[in-house]
Amino acid sequence: MGAQEASDTEHFTCSQARTDTSRALSALDAELTTGQAQRMREDALLIASELASNALRHGGGVTRFSARVHDGALLVEVSDPSPQEPLLRPNDPAVPGGFGWMMVNNLAHTVTVETGERGKTIRAELVVASYR
């Protein structure tokens, strides 16, 4: 299935990330039971929302968003103009925030960060077979 691309990154929202991810996940409905699909959907929506939120809050905005199913996996990619890689912060319940990046890394099967002159792209992959 082709990528669901963000059409208007200037006004991109976390809600749009969740909508685009849900649309991409619909390609898997026939491959997973209702319970399996629900677990994968919950993980994918949390990941997409968190990556988009971090790009908006810390990265200068979303310059590209893609959610697509390819080779038995859901790939969520978010680009922003900041070359700074996300940091894992120490887990301190007394300090608000800082849990999203750890959550993304715990939920996704693989997470990569690619930096360059135009910022960074974070790719999170959820493998369909692990939900079966």
Return the structure tokens found at 72.
Answer: 């038995």
Q: Find residue 110's DSSP bridge partners.
A: 125
Residue 114 burial (CB count, 10 A): 12
DSSP class of 87: -
Instruction: Compute the Cα dihedral for 71, 73, 74, 80 and give only its sign.
Output: negative
Write out the DSSP string of 48-65: HHHHHHHHHHHSSS-SEE
Could you tell me which CATH number the domain at 4-131 has? 3.30.565.10
Per-residue pLDDT, 9: 67
Q: What are the extents of the domains in the chain?
A: 4-131
- Confirm whether pTM is higher than 0.85: yes
Measured CA to CA, the distance from residue 114 to residue 89 in angstroms comes to 20
pLDDT in tens for each of the 132 residues of the chain?
444 455 556 789 999 999 999 999 999 988 899 999 999 999 999 999 999 999 999 999 999 999 999 999 999 999 999 999 998 877 777 887 778 999 999 999 999 999 999 999 999 999 999 998
